[in-house]
Amino acid sequence: MSVPAAPSVHPVPSPVAGPHPVSAAPENASASPPPRLILASTSRYRRELLERLQWPFEVASPGVDETPLAGEQPLALACRLALAKAQAVASQQPDALVIGSDQVADLAGEPLGKPGDHARAVAQLRAMRGRTVIFHTALAVVCQASGFSATDVAPVQVRFRDLSDAEIEAYLLAEQPYDCAGSAKAEGLGISLLEAIVSDDPTALIGLPLIRTCRLLRQGGLSLPALRAATAVPSHPLAHPLPHIHTTSGDHS
């Protein structure tokens, strides 16, 4: 794991298994001011999802090496990387509540990551056609100062149609989903490739399971939804321009 000495943090105006807490927040956490919230990811998909919670947060690139360990299974890989990302940023921002997440597609025990280019995307979609793939979307929330650390994972079963080569080519040329695990964007044209999606956390497939995210944030001391001063969050956060985000090679998830 490679962690920058001081990852840059950029403010963003806000617009299965059950949870596995590693350690709990102090009992009086609810009486304390809410902590800063940081998303340890440069993924625009996760940033846009987190904006739905209408709470101000910042983004930081964790700079974590996402290479699988020898023999590492897809579920274990997703969980390890989600926690590593949160811990990497939390070590530099100890007072913040940090969210880390990672998604790995699981095709019969074989991990499928982001294809990166057209040829790999074609190979992935050919391998998945007519089959069911499990997308493991892992989540970790960490606050170093309070000692809080908890993890969860949302498995999503996705059944692909028996796609023709022509359909695969047409889809990839139209959407170019080369930064998405499994080479398909279910929130876009990629939905046309599928027979069914089975999930108990609807946004998990896009990259961040918001039901589980809210649950872990509440455990960490951030109540959602919450009453707050009218000036705490812009009335129309999506109308405010987002700052430039510096990406780190290997961490776009």
Residues known to be catalytic:
102
Task: State how far the Cα of 51 lies from the Cα of 99, in Å rounded to an integer.
Answer: 13
Q: Sign of torsion, CA 236 253 140 96?
A: negative
CA distance 181 to 116: 9
Tokens 């597609």 -> residue: 105
Asked if 251 and 131 touch (Cβ cutoff 8 Å), the reply is no
Residue in 177, 181, 188, 133 with CA at minimum distance from that of residue 155: 133
Look up residue 67 and give its DSSP letter: P
- Give CA angle at 44 (121, 251), nearest 5°: 65
The phi, psi pair for 194, rounded to 5°, reads -105, 150
